[in-house]
Amino acid sequence: TRTPPPCTRTPPPCTRTPPPCTRTPPPCTRTPPPCTRTPPCTTTPPCTPPCTTTKPCTTTVCTTPKSDNAGPIVDGNEEQPDIDNRLSISGCSSSTWAIATAVAIAQVLISRHDCRGQEDGTFLADVRHCRRYYVCNRQRSKRQNCPNGYWFDRELKACRLASTVNNCDARRN
């Protein structure tokens, strides 16, 4: 009788291991643009004696609010925008402040060329959607979105609860 030779072939050991994960997200390097808005100048007629003079309005560059997000301040339960942080006007009444903010309302983006001639950091509102807004950078517009339930407030140039925003003509997300 014939006996088959013993089996001498052994499979190689499994040595394949997956490569380690080396993908890391890029760090956030966007910073919000500085606030440089100035209220309009107003003149008053000369007064007849006795006169009292008031200090003229002066504009100071605002400090950047401490925030982790790179867009405008979000108004809600977590963080309330501090208007004094945006623009400090000394020697002015609250009615003068209202005039200053009304003049500084964000315009509506009509065409992709609307940022030409605008300063970097200029905000533009979206004509069709209240959650969308644009920030001018190097003469180009970059689209941004407010979180769900928030709309872009053209006066404050910030995302706020939709129920508190009344200056978005689109009236929809």
pLDDT tens per residue across span 126-167: 999 999 999 999 999 999 999 999 999 999 999 999 999 999
Q: Which residues contact 106 (CB under 8 A, 6 or more apart)?
A: 123, 124, 125, 133, 152, 154, 155, 157
Strands (E), the chain: 58-60, 74-75, 88-90, 107-109, 123-126, 132-137, 140-145, 150-153, 158-161
* Residue boundaries of the structural domains of the chain: 58-62+71-164
**Which letter does DSSP use for residue 41 in this model?**
P
Q: Which two tokens stand for residue 112?
A: 């992709």
Partnered with residue 133 across adjacent β-strands are 125, 144
158-172, pLDDT tens digit by residue? 999 999 999 998 888
Residues of the chain with pLDDT under 70: 7-8, 10-103
For tokens 């500085």, name the residue.
34
- Residue 173 has a pLDDT of 80
